[in-house]
Structure 1
Amino acid sequence: MRYDTIIIGAGLSGLAAGIRLAMFDKKVCIVEKHVEIGGLNSFYARKNRIFDVGLHAMTNFTPKGVRSSPLGKLLKQLRFSHDDFRLCQQHMSEIRFPENSLRFTNDFEFMRQEVAEQFPDQIDGFNKLVEKILSYDELNLDGTDCFSSRPVLESCISDSVLIDMLFCPLMYYGSAREGDMDFYQFVIMFKSIFMEGFSKPQGGMPYILNLLAQKFKD
């Protein structure tokens, strides 16, 4: 059989791309070298329990009915309802360093209060950083506005521990800069993790992967 497109890798991105192309009547083949789909979102079973390996939760959580968010747009493009994903909001996450800990939920004001309590002399600088983040157009793709994040954070926050704590969960998603990332990437991840937050599907990531795989087959 001849295909219009061959996608290498049956992870979340590969499956989603295959679904979108198939919606436009393209013949698509997704190839995967592993015995299971998932890529960086793989899993294994032991004693009738599923353990996620890699991505344990989804970012950019927004409640049902919010269509302008990244999650809302994704669901619309893939033709899923919010209920189809069976998402459960996180209860709480914690960034723990030897010197301090910083908790956050899907309510950004909770995190702001945490910064005020744990780093009282840094809250004004943190709020200044948040203003910079909200005013920055991270989706500008003209390539003329690419610069490092760390100097931006240092211009607002003087405590290096707080800076590293803000970077910590964001850096898990990868960066071309060691100990740093491009500011547009920092803004995207800050909004995704701290301002919108985490959710996890009932049944773990295998549920989402199987849902996407079935949609692609259909």
Structure 2
Amino acid sequence: MSKFWNVRTVGPTIPSMYLDKRIQNDKDYGMNLFKPNVSACMNWLSGKPKDSVVYVSFGSYASLRIEQTAELASALKESDVYFLWVVRETEKAKLPYNFIEETREKGLVVSWCPQLEVLSHESVGCFLTHCGFNSVLEALSLGVPMLAMPEWTDQPTNAKHIEDVWGIGIRARSNEEGIVRRETIKECIRELVTEAGEKGKEIKNNSSKWKNLAKQAVDEGGSSDKNIDEFIAKLL
């Protein structure tokens, strides 16, 4: 676009302490749509091995169908992995009967969490996401491989970038009814977390590469830093 119009790119725009660490008090966005259960999430994560947890969140607005929720719940249970699943209060009735109790040893279900803190925790090995752009940028900036399950609007495009452009994740494909079946989700989890084959290792390496590129962009002298300085200079 800069060839046709005087435009400059800035970002990723996540709090400084998760990237360049140049602004000491810049640790969050300063707002939450819902109240996060910080202590429960972080205490639970701290007791888990490195890269062992599947973090699952569909953001603040996306709403899964009951059938899709059941398929996802079964996939997490049958995969026998540690998982932290954000299920908003309005969505909890969709969970299978007794699911939370039956998976208590492996999983934690919360109504909201401090996502930046969770994604930056070393125990998180994969982010199962609806591919909202804020979530995608956060995971990219923090080097977390993604399991993409897009719902609508820009999310399929973001999932395309995750899988085919940046190479930092896998898209779990839905069937003709628009449902991602448990077998598909389980296969993706195996590739990214439990049995990490060649593709999984490549995704992990690419995730580390993009994490470093994100930090370089916003750090002093980086492309984003220079573009902000140029923009301010033109204003003055």
Rg comparison, structure with higher value: 1
TM-score category (smaller protein):
under 0.3
- With normalisation by structure 1, the TM-score equals 0.27
> Normalising by structure 2, what TM-score?
0.26
